[in-house]
Chains A and B, each alone.
Chain A
Amino acid sequence: MKESPLFWPAYFKKDILFVLDETLIPEKLKYIEVKTPAQAVKVIKDMKTRAFGQFLVVLSTFLIVLKDKKIKTDKVLLKKLLSAAEALNKSRPTFPFSEVTGMVLGWAQKAQKGNLDLRVYLNRNIEGFLLGIRGRRLERVEKLADTIKKYKNILTHCNVSGELAMAAQICKAQGKDIGFFATETRPYFQGSRLTAWELKKAGVSVTLVADNAVATLLRDKMVDAVVVGSDRSCANGDFANKIGTLQIAIAADEFDVPFYVLTQPSNKVKQGKDIPIEIRDENEILKVKGKRFVPKGVKGFYPGFDVIPHKFITKAIAINVN
């Protein structure tokens, strides 16, 4: 199985973090050099990376601080870690970055209490955690392949960070050719640019549709299942995902098409309505590639995410948290 670049879109080389600029795909496969926590926050805010890539960048930001040789004392190191955590937590309100940053700060406290070497302890924990996540995501790819192999045509929305393309490859290797329909996913076109690109690269059939065409696909049974990712999960099973997911879930329910979601279980938020939804700049709707395409006087409204009640989920394909 060939790994999609979107599966693990950041890596370290000579103490510099390289983050895949997902906004340039499919034209270019280019990585942004990130040397400071401020730069890390900027790639997140500017949506240069998204979904799993953001969590990878959040954790890697602490590694950037730990690699900073100018920091000589544990006191200053802790201050820098705390400051990085605060900036990351504020970067995108819908994402539960505080769950990740809180975990790292908890490790730092533990190291201090236990009189352990702070840098060594944190490095080991973060790198170990990332390795564990990687393994569990690969397991989830296998679970996803098991789930989708019985379907002929699948609708997906936005992008699930490499996992769908990898699951499709597994199915293909087993002689099960699945066709995919990808929504274009306005306003950032993650479906047109990322999902279509990685599915095509994986050697599977992909058809692009506008976001407004999904009900026809579902009603006319042109697709027999829906698979989406999730950006945040709640204790009751509700989840948040890219804007557009809710209306797909409702249409799937209306027309009796199974709806699957890849999740990262969490109990920190009780229910979907407690998730804060990020409202982004209206210019992101009114402009494309920096150029306004609507008449002067038109306003825009851009909620970044939908909250999807758990009643619409046929099955959550969860990452193993144990």
Chain B
Amino acid sequence: MLIKKKNSVILLNGVFKDSFFEILRKRKVKKVFILEGRPYLDGAKEMCAKLLKHKITPILIADNMAGFLFYKDLVKEVWVSYQETSKKNVLCKIGSLILGVMAKRHKVSLRVFPSGKRKKYIANPKEIFSFDGKRIAAKGIDGFVPLLEDVPRKYIKEIYS
């Protein structure tokens, strides 16, 4: 499914509080891009299920594909989930910092919305060695699995609470 430039859509990263869907409803959003959300695939599973329940079609992309969407001007706005705010930063779902950088460079707004559930900062390395329960990685290696990252406020257009 290739989306044409004139039909650029919202890009989501994370699982959001249910009140987020009211915003999408008011904007009459029919489809969104969503990142799969490694390692737990919460974007691909939980958030996609919620979107479908609200009659919004999720278009799933892998976490490494957002750059292509920006390159092709297919993103009109970015929303990411966050857990905490501080004076300089917002603690967001992992993958949000790169979205913030690209959004800023492409003059696309990035908005942050509270997360539907709290996460720890870092997961067990073994979480990256499998995908949906299936082992995919070579044996004997290390893993580094941050689940959250600080996004400086300079990349953020609006913080919802």
Contacts and interface: CB of A to CB of B under 8 A. Distances in A.
Interface of A: 26, 157, 181, 183-187, 189, 192-193, 196-197, 199-200, 205-217, 219, 222, 243-248, 250-251, 254, 277, 279, 282, 285-286, 288-289, 291, 293-295, 297-303, 306-307
B159 interface: no
Contact of B71 (A217, A246, A285, A294): A246
Interface in B25-39: 31, 33, 35-39
A232 B58 CA distance: 32
Contacts of B48: 294-295, 298
Name the residue among A219, A295, A302 with the largest chain B CB count within 10 angstroms: A295
> At the interface, is chain A mostly helix, strand, loop or mixed?
mixed
A35 B71 CA distance: 40
A200 B141 contact: yes
Contacts of A279: 2
Contacts of B142: 205-208
B41 to A, nearest CB: 7
> At the interface, is chain B mostly helix, strand, loop or mixed?
mixed
A254 to B, nearest CB: 5
A284 to B, nearest CB: 10
Name the residue among B59, B98, B102 with the largest chain A CB count within 10 angstroms: B98
A272 B57 CA distance: 31
Nearest to B137: A192
9 contacts: A26-B138, A192-B136, A208-B128, A210-B95, A286-B60, A295-B49, A298-B48, A301-B2, A303-B65
B149 A247 contact: no
A309 to B, nearest CB: 9
B146 interface: yes
Given A208-B144, A293-B44, A306-B67, A184 B52 contact: no
Given A212-B94, A216-B146, A244-B64, A297 B57 contact: yes
Interface residues of B, number: 55
Contacts of A186: 36, 38, 62-64
A135 B138 CA distance: 29
B44 A184 contact: no
Interface string B101-118: 110010000000000000
Contacts of A301: 1-3, 33, 59-61, 65
Interface string B123-136: 00100110110101
Contacts of A303: 65, 68
B49 A212 contact: no
B131 A189 contact: yes
Nearest to B123: A210
Contact of A197 (B13, B36, B105, B138): B138
Nearest to B65: A243
Given A196-B138, A244-B65, A298-B44, A213 B60 contact: no
Given A282-B1, A285-B62, A298 B98 contact: no
7 cross-chain pairs, A with B, having the tightest CB-CB distances, nearest first: A244-B64, A212-B95, A247-B67, A246-B67, A186-B62, A197-B138, A211-B64
Nearest to A212: B95
Given A254-B101, A279-B2, A294-B48, A210 B60 contact: no
Nearest to A282: B1
